Chain A
């Protein structure tokens, strides 16, 4: 073996040992959580150093929630996944990548934060939109995400459906209502951000249905007062599930760190950071403290009305499902 090769090997060994001494964690997350986890990671690293004396490095990977889940399933070595729809984590559980009972591993269905669907109208709410019923009026244009291509769109659809069900309506009535609503849709966004751009930059539509967390970031991006947030009489709970990727942590030996990383999301400090990014904290005391941001409105869960997101997916969004029936030719 020549000396140059030896030197190279030594250098490689040194680098490898350095990498082991500071553990690295990869968080595969959804698109709009980028800013939240940037803040959270800084705070977590400081806290971890303080409590355990160990240095950690955290990498982030963001993309569409389902796209991220697919890349983890296909082999992306993420240690933890933090998603915005439970079906994405269920899919990983089916593949044996995360634990089968992932939603029991952490409190509150392993969802440290939630969000809900709200309406955004143009400044001053010129069409006087107050509740779900106003969305099906003739002449009102609703911008919403395509439920086939985005979790945001699925929740908007289920929220509209649930509104009728909670009023005591039948499935047939709910179908009729949702069908009317989508007749008022001029553009279906591909994803949450796409819909926001259509509504705000292209000036299309009178109302945008989107996550509460998106409302706050819109105010931040486009300036206060461009849009009014309208809280309908009732809406849906959208859980933001988290899970340890067992496959990766077993390989990398990062199980403990991954668990600590997700657990700390439930700490007061973690929950406060979530509040800053307009995610509803699970901690009731902290939620109450910020009642000005998170207006208390009656909320229903997916489980309550649809069994689970997975079942809702089958009935409503899969090809040939309710959505296809409501939203096809003859319009």
Chain B
């Protein structure tokens, strides 16, 4: 690339006025993100501490947190591996129909999640196209936590592919070739050369897939079976509380979700920064 990008330390800034832009940033974030979330927290304040605790820590709700975070984590981990593979194939190989495959990756972004849920359920239910062959083998996917994981894998895959793809495109083939010339095995080349450079992107993709899965409702609701303690996700608990006009209880659970999700994302962001620093020092 020959275009001279303004460097951070070069003193050239695209937008003038740090104070103005930062002020605008904070104002905009406040308007779009913080005020709605603050309203959520405030609404849960109508509960006493004890009521709050009962609402957010009953065994049913705890089971729902476990399921939501557990299934999201598994799905994000699966996407981490297979998203990398997909991105790799899309970047490094030419094959007929590549454009179509590339476009297909984005489909879960655009699709209404309910459509995903309904079609996955139709596919995996005991009488579905795939389910009818699995059921005799004793494998039940629809209406079990396994079905939830599948739905979350589906909606999460583009996040990993789309964050890793550009980094892979930028990574230089010559480095890998050099590693091979110096006698590295394929596995060594992968872990010592390739992985460090794409690790931050992979982690970002993982974090986004994970975050998206935690908040997912539409695609999961049809395939979950909604059995308390078994396959009930937290968003359904919130809807259930609203159906009982328990606004305060619903917001209490929502606040807990908000806090856990925020902490998780903060941790992942921290990990990513650490990873980037490490990679930067090694280079």
Residues of A within 8 A of B (CB): 64, 66-67, 70, 87, 91, 146, 148-150, 185-190, 194, 201-204, 313, 317-320, 324, 327-329, 331
Counting from the closest, the 4 A-B pairs by CB-CB distance are A148-B240, A202-B125, A203-B127, A187-B225
Give the distance in Å from the alpha carbon of A203 to the alpha carbon of B126 in the complex.
7
Q: Report yes or no: B246 in contact with A318, Cβ–Cβ below 8 A.
A: yes
Q: How far is the CA of A204 from the CA of B243 in the complex (A)?
A: 25
- Write out the residue numbers on chain A whose beta carbons fall within 8 Å of the beta carbon of B225: 186-188
A318 to B54, CA, bound (A): 12
Apart from A187-B226, A188-B227, list 20 A-B contacts with CB within 8 A: A64-B243, A66-B244, A70-B242, A70-B245, A148-B243, A149-B226, A149-B236, A149-B240, A186-B143, A187-B227, A201-B122, A202-B126, A203-B126, A317-B244, A319-B60, A320-B54, A320-B58, A328-B60, A329-B59, A329-B229
CB distance from A72 to the nearest CB of B (A): 12
On whether the beta carbons of B143 and A187 are closer than 8 Å, the reply is yes
CA distance A317 to B245 in the complex (A): 12
Nearest chain-B residue to A191 (Cβ)? B243
B75 within 8 Å of A (CB atoms): no
- Supposing A188-B226, A328-B59 touch, asked if A202 and B236 sit within 8 A by C-beta, the answer is no
Q: Which residue of B lies closest to A314 (CB)?
A: B244
**B222-275 interface with A by 8 A CB criterion:** 222, 225-229, 236, 239-246, 249
- For A189, the closest partner residue in chain B by CB is B226
Q: Does the CB pair A66–B245 fall under 8 Å?
A: yes
| Residue in chain A with minimal CB distance to B225 | A187
**CA gap between A329 and B245 in the complex, in Å:** 25
A-binding residues in B (CB < 8 A): 54-55, 58-60, 121-122, 125-128, 142-143, 221-222, 225-229, 236, 239-246, 249
Q: Across the interface, do A313 and B244 meet the contact criterion of CB distance under 8 Å?
A: yes
Indicate the member of B127, B222, B245, B246 with the most A CB atoms within 10 Å: B245
Q: Report B-chain residues with C-beta under 8 Å of the C-beta of A328.
A: 59-60, 228-229
Give which listed residue, A148, A190, A319, contacts B221 with CB less than 8 A.
A190
Give the residue name and chain of the B residue nearest to A145 (CB): B226
Q: Which residues of A contact B241 (CB under 8 A)?
A: 319
Q: Is the Cβ of B125 less than 8 Å from the Cβ of A319? A: no
Question: Closest residue of chain A to B228, judged by CB?
Answer: A327
Q: In the bound complex, how far is the Cα of B64 from the Cα of A329, in angstroms?
A: 13
Q: Closest Cβ of chain A: how far from B42's Cβ, in Å?
A: 16
Chain B residues near A148 (CB-CB < 8 A): 240, 243-244
Enumerate chain B residues within 8 angstroms of A189, measured Cβ to Cβ. Answer: 226
Could you tell me the distance between the alpha carbons of A331 and B125 in the complex, rounded to whole angstroms?
23
- Beta-carbon contact of A204 and B246 below 8 Å: no
**Chain B residue contacts of A149, Cβ below 8 A:** 226, 236, 239-240, 243
* A319-B126 contact in complex given A149-B239, A149-B240, A187-B227, C-beta closer than 8 Å: no
| Bound form: Cα–Cα A320–B241 in Å | 12
Instruction: Give complex CA distance A68, B281 in Å.
Output: 58
Q: How far is the CA of A203 from the CA of B245 in the complex (A)?
A: 33
Q: Do A190 and B226 form a contact, CB below 8 Å, given A202-B127, A319-B249?
A: yes
**Complex contacts, B143 vs chain A, CB 8 Å:** 186-187, 204
Q: Which residues of A contact B221 (CB under 8 A)?
A: 190
Q: In the assembly, what is the distance between CA of A186 and CA of B128, in Å? A: 17
Give the complex CA separation of A292 and B213 in angstroms.
Answer: 50
CA distance A187 to B232 in the complex (A): 11
Q: Whole-angstrom distance from the CB of B247 to the nearest CB of chain A?
A: 8
Q: How far is the CB of B29 from chain A (nearest CB, A)?
A: 25
Q: Which residue of B lies closest to A202 (CB)?
A: B125
B58 touches A319 (CB 8 A): yes
Cα-based distance from A231 to B126 in the complex (angstroms): 28
Kindly report which residue of chain B lies nearest to residue A70, judged by CB atoms: B242
Closest to B58 in A: A319
Nearest B residue to A87, CB-CB: B245
**Bound complex: CA A188 to CA B231 (Å):** 10
Please report the C-alpha to C-alpha distance between residue A66 and residue B225 in the assembled complex, in whole angstroms: 21
- Within the assembled complex, what's the spacing in Å between the Cα atoms of A64 and B242? 11
Contacts of A146 in B (CB 8 A): 226, 240
Nearest residue (CB) in A for B125 is A202
Task: Find chain A residues with CB under 8 A from B126 CB.
Answer: 202-204
Q: How far is the CB of B120 from chain A (nearest CB, A)?
A: 12
> In the complex where A202-B142, A318-B244 touch, is A324 in contact with B226 (Cβ < 8 A)?
no
Q: How far is the CB of B229 from chain A (nearest CB, A)?
A: 5
A204 contacts B240, C-beta separation under 8 Å:
no
| Residue with the highest number of chain B CB atoms closer than 10 Å, among A189, A202, A318, A327 | A202
Contact B59 A190 (CB under 8 A): no
What chain A residues lie within 8 Å of B55 (beta carbons)?
319
